[in-house]
Amino acid sequence: MKLIVGLGNPEEKYANTLHNLGFISVNKTAKILGVEFNKTKCKALIAETKINGEKVILAKPQTYMNLSGESVVELMNFFKVDKKDLLVIYDDFDLDKGVIRIRESGSSGTHNGMKNIIALLGYSDFARVRVGFNPGKESRIPLLDLVLSKIKEEDAEIFNKATDVASKVAYEFASGEKLQAIMQKYNGKA
């Protein structure tokens, strides 16, 4: 059993924002797998499939970003997922625009959704894919406004490539590839 969670905010007005890079990535993973988010369970939209006989759940929490942990904990408990089989994909201000960083564990950094997940799970040693969006010195926008801003047209290609990579990471994780091999292949890519 693998659980792949993309973080974001559920309303349509947030669809193409930087804070929804996790949703965008997991939507692309669903396309690769040929599945749709057609069920609601544990405060999340989910899509289910099997790869090599192993069940795979893709999830998009509908709790809003800062309460993502509520959904993740319910999903982990309901599907009896081991922490080594959890992968969370999310946007990260701490990385440059379009950079991908895969880790086996770590802190939440500046990300409130991850803070909530770690606090409610009670551990931080689970896989994650961070999709960087820090615009660098050119931006003077407060972080709260920045994360909820739409992806700029001039950045569309960067984020399209980054979420493509994140979706491939998720697919390979779901397929049973070792995380170390995935990290060597994709870390730093955009």
User: Tell me, what's the pLDDT at 125?
Assistant: 96
What is the CATH number for 173? 3.40.50.1470
End-to-end CA separation in angstroms for the chain:
28
Please report which residue ranges of the chain form alpha helices under DSSP H.
Answer: 21-33, 68-79, 112-121, 143-147, 156-174, 179-186
pLDDT tens profile 8-59:
999 999 999 999 999 999 999 999 999 999 999 999 999 999 999 999 999 9
The tally of domains found in the chain comes to 1
Please count the residues of the chain. Answer: 190
| From 2, 19, 43, 97, active-site residue | 19
105 DSSP assignment: S
pLDDT tens profile 92-109:
998 999 999 999 999 988
111 labelled catalytic = no
Cα dihedral across residues 21, 62, 112, 105: positive or negative: negative
Reduce the DSSP state of residue 99 to 3 states and report it. Answer: coil
Q: Which amino acid is at 52?
A: N
Residue-number span of the structural domain to which 179 is assigned = 2-186
